Chain A
């Protein structure tokens, strides 16, 4: 499991080129496509971060929005008092603390109990934040007046996504990644190999939570006004799960394959059928469940011999501009 030099440099170099190219997107498209791109990239970060923990451990977490919301709230509270990079650091710290607490207390729950627990956590955090705001600060909604443009948000998210992919890439080639794979196959075996299962899981949970928190923090200036209902909207957690599961959470770029088609599909449905969006969305879900049981990556693996993993990044990213044209 040593790091082979060409095996490492080639995909990372390719990724760097693609991300550098994507950074110029604002020069070519209007504000609407930028807002769409922000939506794609933010979900890409969330779904990839979600899969980083949930892929190998198979825990389905609905706590995405807990961390996302904490990030957004940190910006709402501190945004006008310190420089934005400092605010981001504070957000990451807040996310880490909560994730460590949650991680150590919940990871012994299995299966659906974990699912429901993480959902309950969302509600609890929302209620506690509301109660605190009502009784201590006596300010319910918070205003975020920051001079951060849509393009700034896009670049920050893009950078965050690049860091996330790099982290995931290195992780898969590290000892921790190896330990994770063993845990994913069989926890008992992992324990017998001398792996501290709990610590590995918590470490991963925290890592994925930090990225979610930062996404929330970066997105917050876009909305001007933040209250607990807006920041902790449970729909977001569900969306992330669906996207990751559709793409395939067990490969680094799998979630991206779910995020791109679903975000664009949501967009087309919202734009064309404002009054029947729910019905069509429901039908799409059914179709996915019945016709695509293994996710997009399952389809890909079925029809193509599993060659090299490096094939998927260009595939995944090239679909963006094409499908965007279609959405219009």
Chain B
């Protein structure tokens, strides 16, 4: 029982991390508090649904199209919608308020468009639902795939951010955009790149999640909130932190469901989150900042 609880908790946590990692880039590096994040996740889910049901393309293969597409889309969103806000913001606080308002508007637009196209119904499809035995626990294959993606993206981008030049540039922008400019880093480009990359990660999350969750046009907010919690808990801008925070939440939910009461699973994530914030406000792996 214990091993099953832990393992299914890890797959659950992998999903949380997967959905959150794009947001941590968007917020950490580009400084955009993107409330429309979950809508972008859902858009990818719907595209995967169409690929699977009408075009007969398997969603994993579909990623080859969806990733560049969402990268471009988010690039455009940043260039057209967010650059003016960044330019006029005098400080980080102003940009935060402006980006919350603007992306809140974006949330409604995306949701409205989805609603016109897909209606309010629930959607779900059947893909890679076969059971796989892992250490004696039966887990659906699609969940393992999602977990695998989360680990690869989390570790891979952690290495890229810490070991490569472009990664260092991105981190420099995250720490202090003004000083980054002084050492010849194109801050605007770096922010835009990080935002688009984050958007592409959101799309990957959306595609993978659609394989095992039932979704509808009004569910984007759920993902945004889950992602925000993971991002804040793991430390803003820290992909590895997001991965670990996601796993902690997943395992905690699973253990509470098994040993305490499944009715408290959502409550427990918020309790953990609020405790982390109170004890270490910058998150588990965040730098102490002003």
State the A residues within 8 Å of B (CB). Answer: 58, 60, 105-106, 108-113, 116-117, 119-121, 123-124, 127-128, 130-131, 134-135, 234, 238, 242, 245, 275-286, 288-290, 293
CB pair A282–B263 under 8 Å, yes or no, is: no
Residue from B85, B113, B232 in contact with A289 in the complex, judged by beta carbons closer than 8 Å: B85
CB pair B102–A286 under 8 Å, yes or no, is: yes
Q: With A242-B101, A245-B101 in contact, do A120 and B274 touch (Cβ < 8 Å)?
A: yes
A121 to B271, CA, bound (A): 9
A116 to B85, CA, bound (A): 22
Chain B 91-111 per-residue mask, 1 if CB under 8 angstroms from chain A, else 0: 011001110111011111111
B267 an interface residue at 8 Å Cβ cutoff?
yes
CB pair A124–B277 under 8 Å, yes or no, is: no
CB distance from A135 to the nearest CB of B (A): 7
Residue from B85, B101, B108, B266 in contact with A278 in the complex, judged by beta carbons closer than 8 Å: B108
B111 to chain A: closest residue by CB: A278
A135 to chain B: closest residue by CB: B263
CB pair B263–A112 under 8 Å, yes or no, is: no
CB pair A289–B270 under 8 Å, yes or no, is: no
Chain A residues near B98 (CB, 8 Å)?
289, 293
CB pair B102–A285 under 8 Å, yes or no, is: yes
Chain A residues near B271 (CB, 8 Å)?
124
CB pair B104–A285 under 8 Å, yes or no, is: yes
A284 to B108, CA, bound (A): 10
CB pair A283–B105 under 8 Å, yes or no, is: yes
Chain B 232-251 per-residue mask, 1 if CB under 8 angstroms from chain A, else 0: 10000000000000000000
CB distance from A290 to the nearest CB of B (A): 7
CB pair B274–A117 under 8 Å, yes or no, is: yes
B132 an interface residue at 8 Å Cβ cutoff?
no
A238 to B282, CA, bound (A): 24
CB pair A105–B108 under 8 Å, yes or no, is: no
CB pair B112–A127 under 8 Å, yes or no, is: no
CB pair B104–A242 under 8 Å, yes or no, is: yes
Chain B interface residue count, CB cutoff 8 Å, equals 43
Q: Which of B232-290 contact A (CB under 8 A)?
A: 232, 261, 263-264, 266-267, 270-271, 273-274, 277-278, 281-282
A130 to B266, CA, bound (A): 11
Chain A residues near B221 (CB, 8 Å)?
234
B273 to chain A: closest residue by CB: A120
CB distance from A299 to the nearest CB of B (A): 16
CB pair B116–A116 under 8 Å, yes or no, is: no
Q: With A113-B277, A285-B102, A289-B98 in contact, do A134 and B263 touch (Cβ < 8 Å)?
A: yes
Chain A residues near B76 (CB, 8 Å)?
none
CB pair B277–A289 under 8 Å, yes or no, is: no
CB pair B267–A282 under 8 Å, yes or no, is: no
A112 to B47, CA, bound (A): 32
A-B contact pairs, 23 of them (CB 8 A): A58-B93, A106-B278, A109-B277, A113-B232, A123-B270, A124-B267, A127-B266, A127-B267, A128-B267, A131-B267, A234-B221, A242-B101, A278-B115, A281-B105, A282-B106, A282-B108, A285-B105, A286-B81, A286-B109, A288-B105, A289-B102, A290-B102, A293-B88
A290 to B98, CA, bound (A): 9
A279 to chain B: closest residue by CB: B112
CB pair A285–B277 under 8 Å, yes or no, is: no
CB pair A282–B97 under 8 Å, yes or no, is: no
B229 an interface residue at 8 Å Cβ cutoff?
yes
Chain A residues near B261 (CB, 8 Å)?
131, 135
Q: With A60-B97, A116-B228 in contact, do A127 and B105 touch (Cβ < 8 Å)?
A: no
A290 to B102, CA, bound (A): 8
Q: With A116-B229, A123-B225 in contact, do A282 and B277 touch (Cβ < 8 Å)?
A: no
CB distance from B105 to the nearest CB of A (A): 3
B84 an interface residue at 8 Å Cβ cutoff?
yes
CB distance from A261 to the nearest CB of B (A): 15
Chain A residues near B111 (CB, 8 Å)?
278, 282
Residue from A124, A242, A276, A286 in contact with B116 in the complex, judged by beta carbons closer than 8 Å: A276
Chain B 208-232 per-residue mask, 1 if CB under 8 angstroms from chain A, else 0: 0000000000000100010011001
A116 to chain B: closest residue by CB: B232
CB distance from B166 to the nearest CB of A (A): 26
A238 to B35, CA, bound (A): 11
